[in-house]
């Protein structure tokens, strides 16, 4: 199936129920990119960026993959890898931060895209052969050996898909293929032991890879970029600039910290190895047996005064110039060692709370003493909170916000106190009632403004903007220039649902809205809302998803289960769904959705004749 772009300039009021372009002024381009089918017949995968669509469709007794309207070869089966990765480190860290398991964020899918969406790959079976297709071309064709048990994983490296890694499981371990070439030996998959995560390691820029291979019965060695590196090590780690590979090399009771296979630091043991987020810096917690204890090395030099029974966690600042290490002297004696300086002592410090601001100028963490909790920023303590407060920094690092439950003095209340939920922004306190709790807090792009949601009722959380109640419930978004804010929600005082721009209702919504976005120049606002279907072919009770540009309808798609599957709304709350509705850096919106019996991709360019200003001038009364 091949589709060609076509441009349609339409007039306001001409709503085409089964085609896409119904815009008044916006330029709308459309292209057929896949078939529409039931969940059993078609499986959709959307690229992480670029809004590319893969449809795994049944054709009689065979299967094929259609990417952006172009059908691939037919197969007896399209095989879904066990995991959508070969290197699990990034996804595992992201899942831990989100408080869920990795498969909730990254479910297994039959087609793998590069992060920018420009490359794709999948595995098919034809008879007794596996065929790996990459970018529409056959890359690997290999017999399915008796000892091959599954396709273990597939992953493009880097943002632009520099390499394609494919792993298959065998009874002897996992085999790795890179860009269609079989790599030496096999490797074991796992994490948590003394060797750390043993899956292949991909460098930050995606250009390099390394793993520990089993070669035959008796040899184990590190493979770097497809070649035997000539040494055996574990806990592999690339520097942030991808130029150097660190490893722990064990020689009897001695553990060496090696760089590019060359021993650099001799130790009794290494408990943690942390790479700086930029450059080639690192920090390591080294073990000492006599006298027993640990000490810290930063960028190759021992940190004086860093002796500690146990270092719980080490964090390096974004600029790579500073470090913070959590030391535990005993079960209830903790302090943070920052750039060699010992901080205040507490009964406990939450390890995962330790963080530098994005500009590396501030260090914060949450600590507790005598049953009370404190937010500590550059050793400056907050007032006491109940468990457990939280804090974060603005994107430029210049602003700080924290919040939590507190007992507040109130002479007229029973016991003389009431529970409140203060929000502290740059040291200034905004008091909230006990019924209030913060759900989301956002600084505007230039950090001059802020908004948050919390509390609320059946209509959704209340929205506060710049410290004041907006009178709206729902969700909100600042424009890129920070001058405007759109709220999708409800105004209880007027019993009105809709799109509110700078507090004014610009479009009423009877049902729900799924997406909203400003253009990068902050001149236009687009959103997608569910509305009753229109047109001669609209069946009773059916709905459409309609995309609006500055208040004018621009594209209409069917609100069907296929649309939900494409958008990722059929999955759980932790699912990291690829965007099927994406605003580009050029101000062009790209979306995909079902229209009749095909799926179409639309590119919508706002007209210079409409804007936020024209929409506000015609606000709904």
Asked which of 7-21, 60-74, 106-120, 488-502 is least confident by mean pLDDT, the reply is 7-21
Over residues 599-614, mean pLDDT: 96
102 or 8, higher pLDDT: 102
pLDDT digits (tens, 9 = 90+) for 132-147: 999 999 999 988 876 6
Buried b (16+ CB within 10 A) or exposed e, 358-373: bebebbbbbbbbeeeb
Start-to-end C-alpha separation, the chain: 47
Quote the pLDDT of residue 99: 83
Quote the pLDDT of residue 1: 35
Report the alpha-carbon distance of residue 329 to residue 309 in Å, rounded. Answer: 6
What is the average pLDDT value for the chain, to the nearest integer? Answer: 90
Over residues 160-184, mean pLDDT: 94
pLDDT digits (tens, 9 = 90+) for 41-61: 899 999 999 999 999 998 888
Q: What proportion of the chain, given as a percentage, has pLDDT over 90? A: 75
Assign 545 a pLDDT band (cuts: 50, 70, 90): very high
pLDDT at 20 over 60: no
Please give the order of strands across the beta sheet that includes 201-202.
201-202, 209-215, 219-224, 227-228
pLDDT at 332 over 50: yes
Closest to 256 measured CA to CA, from 285, 248, 300: 248
β-bridge pairing 406-409 and 62-67:
unpaired
588 or 578, higher pLDDT: 588
Quote the pLDDT of residue 19: 37
Over residues 181-190, mean pLDDT: 95
Number of H helices, E strands in the chain: 4, 56
Q: Using alpha carbons, list the distances in angstroms from residue 334 to 76, 343, 345.
A: 60, 9, 6
Quote the pLDDT of residue 436: 63
Over residues 70-93, mean pLDDT: 94
Quote the pLDDT of residue 460: 78
Quote the pLDDT of residue 262: 97
399 or 419, higher pLDDT: 399
pLDDT at 603 over 80: yes
Q: What six digits make up the tokens of 305?
A: 């005064």
pLDDT digits (tens, 9 = 90+) for 290-314: 999 999 999 999 999 999 999 999 9
Quote the pLDDT of residue 620: 56
All residues at 6 or more sequence positions from 115 whose CB lies less than 8 Å from its CB, including other chains: 48, 49, 156, 158, 159, 160, 161
Most trustworthy range by pLDDT among 38-52, 250-264, 503-517: 250-264
Quote the pLDDT of residue 248: 97
How much is the pTM? Answer: 0.90
């Amino acid at each position: 199936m091949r589709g060609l772009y076509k441009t349609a300039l339409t007039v306001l009021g001409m709503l085409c129920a089964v085609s896409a372009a119904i815009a008044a002024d916006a330029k709308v381009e459309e292209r057929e990119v896949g078939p529409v089918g039931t969940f059993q017949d078609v499986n959709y995968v959307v690229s992480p960026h670029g809004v590319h669509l893969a449809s795994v469709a049944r054709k009689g007794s065979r299967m094929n993959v259609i990417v952006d309207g172009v059908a691939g070869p037919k197969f007896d089966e399209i095989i879904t890898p066990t995991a959508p990765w070969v290197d699990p480190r990034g996804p595992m860290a992201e899942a831990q931060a989100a408080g869920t398991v990795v498969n909730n964020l990254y479910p297994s899918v039959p087609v793998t895209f590069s992060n920018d969406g420009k490359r794709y790959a999948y595995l098919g079976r034809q008879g007794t052969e596996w065929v790996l297709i990459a970018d529409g071309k056959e890359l690997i064709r290999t017999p399915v050996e008796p000892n091959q048990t599954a396709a273990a994983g597939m992953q493009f490296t880097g943002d632009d898909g520099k390499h394609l890694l494919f792993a298959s499981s065998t009874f002897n371990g996992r085999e790795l293929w890179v860009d269609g070439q079989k790599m030496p030996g096999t490797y074991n998959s796992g994490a948590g032991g003394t060797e750390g995560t043993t899956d292949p390691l991909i460098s930050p820029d995606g250009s390099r890879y390394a793993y520990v291979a089993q070669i035959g019965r008796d040899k184990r060695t590190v493979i770097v970029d497809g070649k035997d590196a000539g040494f055996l090590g574990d806990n592999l780690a690339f520097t942030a600039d991808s130029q150097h590979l660190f490893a722990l090399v064990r020689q009897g009771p001695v553990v060496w910290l090696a760089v590019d296979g060359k021993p650099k630091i001799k130790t009794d043991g290494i408990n943690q190895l942390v790479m700086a987020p930029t450059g080639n810096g690192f920090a390591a917690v080294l073990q000492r047996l006599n006298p027993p204890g640990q000490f810290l090395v930063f960028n190759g030099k021992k940190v004086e005064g860093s002796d500690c029974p146990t270092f719980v966690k080490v964090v390096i600042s974004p600029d790579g110039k500073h470090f913070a290490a959590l030391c535990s002297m005993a079960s209830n004696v903790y302090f943070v060692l920052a750039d060699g300086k010992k901080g205040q002592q507490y009964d406990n410090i939450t390890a995962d709370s330790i963080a530098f601001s994005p500009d590396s100028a501030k260090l914060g963490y949450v600590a507790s003493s005598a049953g009370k909790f404190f937010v500590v920023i550059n050793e400056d303590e907050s007032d006491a909170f109940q468990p457990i407060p939280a804090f974060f920094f603005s994107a430029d690092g210049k602003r700080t916000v924290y919040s939590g439950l507190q007992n507040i003095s109130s002479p007229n209340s029973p016991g003389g106190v009431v529970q409140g939920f203060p929000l502290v922004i740059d040291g200034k306190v905004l008091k909230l009632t006990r019924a209030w709790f913060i759900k989301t807090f956002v600084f505007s792009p230039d950090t001059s403004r802020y908004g948050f949601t919390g509390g609320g009722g059946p209509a959704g959380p209340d929205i506060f903007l710049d410290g004041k109640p907006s009178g709206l419930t729902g969700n909100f978004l600042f424009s890129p220039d920070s001058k405007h804010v759109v709220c999708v929600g409800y105004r209880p005082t007027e019993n009105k649902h809709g799109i509110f721009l700078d507090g004014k209702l610009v479009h009423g919504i009877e049902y729900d809205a799924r997406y909203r976005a400003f253009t990068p120049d902050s001149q236009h606002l687009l959103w997608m809302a569910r509305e009753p279907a229109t047109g001669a072919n609209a069946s009773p009770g059916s709905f459409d998803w309609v995309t609006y540009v500055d208040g004018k309808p621009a594209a209409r798609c069917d609100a069907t289960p296929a649309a939900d599957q494409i958008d990722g709304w059929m999955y759980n709350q932790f699912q990291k769904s690829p965007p099927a509705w994406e605003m580009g850096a050029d101000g062009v919106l790209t979306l995909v959705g079902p229209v009749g019996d095909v799926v179409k991709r639309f590119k919508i360019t706002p007209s210079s004749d409409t804007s936020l200003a024209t929409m506000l001038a015609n606000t709904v009364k």
